[in-house]
């Protein structure tokens, strides 16, 4: 009887175990699906890496070169060329200057700006001007150059000065975004974002290939440690 009971208990136990197995089936991972997902994200990573590299390629080259020229600005000789000019507005345009009395930051009237450009070679159209009772002063800075125009509101006499600092200064100012306008301002932001994406995706690709390249992380660590060491120990306030 005990044997039978034992067998019966065993049968009941095995039936219960089979029931548990049926109730809680074992879910196996699909290696093929995981492989496809990995390949998809790897393709996305490579795509974003080369796209960001293509967008920022020219910018990184220019900013790398100008980084060198800015770092050695004291040793790169450049003599600014200063050109002065004088002229006089026609009497018919003096009334346009008189009507703008007290209007600070208002640009020169279009006719006056065109006449100034033709007389002294300074393009002052659309630039905010400083108005006083005696004169109108317009500063026209730009990358690698400076210029200004002063107009006597009573006589129409024009004095102007242009300073050209050369191509090196021009590209240095592009690097710094100095007097480059709104369009260049936004282009710098786009290039900066592209460089961030390029760097971040490059770091992820380094991680993926680090197993086959043992020197990867030591080089990354060295590239991070050297600037930190210089900042902490070799920069003095």
pLDDT tens digits, residue range 133-176?
Answer: 889 999 999 999 999 999 999 999 999 999 999 999 999 999 99
**pLDDT of 1:** 45
User: Which letter, b or e, does each residue of 200-237 get, where b requires 16 or more Cβ atoms within 10 Å of its Cβ?
Assistant: ebeeeeeeeeeeeeeeeeeeeeeeeeeeeeeeeeeeee
What phi and psi, each to the nearest 5 degrees, are found at residue 63?
A: -70, -30
The model carries a pTM of 0.75
Tokens of 98: 């008189």
Q: Give the tens place of pLDDT for each residue, 177-236.
A: 999 999 999 999 999 999 999 999 999 999 888 888 899 999 999 999 999 999 999 887
Q: DSSP secondary-structure letter at 215?
A: T
Q: Name, in order, each residue with C-beta under 8 angstroms of 10's C-beta and a sequence gap of 6 or more.
A: none
Mean per-residue pLDDT of the chain: 86
Q: Helices (DSSP H) in the chain: which residue ranges?
A: 2-23, 31-71, 94-99, 110-120, 167-176, 181-209, 216-233
């Amino acid at each position: 009887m005990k044997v039978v009971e034992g067998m019966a208990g065993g049968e009941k136990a095995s039936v219960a175990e089979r029931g548990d197995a049926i109730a809680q089936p074992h879910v196996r991972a699909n290696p093929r699906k995981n492989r496809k997902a990995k390949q998809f994200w790897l393709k996305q990573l490579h795509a974003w890496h080369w796209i960001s590299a293509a967008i920022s390629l020219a910018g990184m080259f220019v900013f790398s070169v100008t980084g060198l020229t800015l770092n050695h600005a004291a040793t790169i000789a450049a003599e600014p060329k200063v050109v002065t000019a004088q002229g006089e507005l026609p009497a018919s345009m003096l009334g346009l200057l008189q009507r703008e009395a007290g209007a600070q930051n208002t640009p020169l009237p279009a006719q006056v700006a065109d006449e100034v450009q033709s007389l002294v070679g300074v393009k002052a159209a659309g630039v905010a001007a400083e108005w006083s009772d005696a004169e109108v002063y317009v500063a026209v800075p730009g990358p690698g150059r400076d210029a200004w125009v002063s107009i006597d509101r009573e006589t129409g006499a024009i004095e102007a000065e242009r300073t050209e600092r050369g191509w090196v200064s021009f590209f240095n100012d592009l690097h710094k975004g100095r007097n480059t306008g709104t369009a260049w301002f936004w282009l710098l932001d786009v290039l900066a974002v592209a460089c961030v994406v390029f760097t971040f995706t490059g770091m992820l690709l380094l991680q993926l290939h680090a197993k086959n390249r043992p020197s990867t992380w030591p080089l990354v660590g060295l590239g991070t440690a050297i600037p930190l060491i210089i900042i902490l120990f070799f920069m003095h306030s």
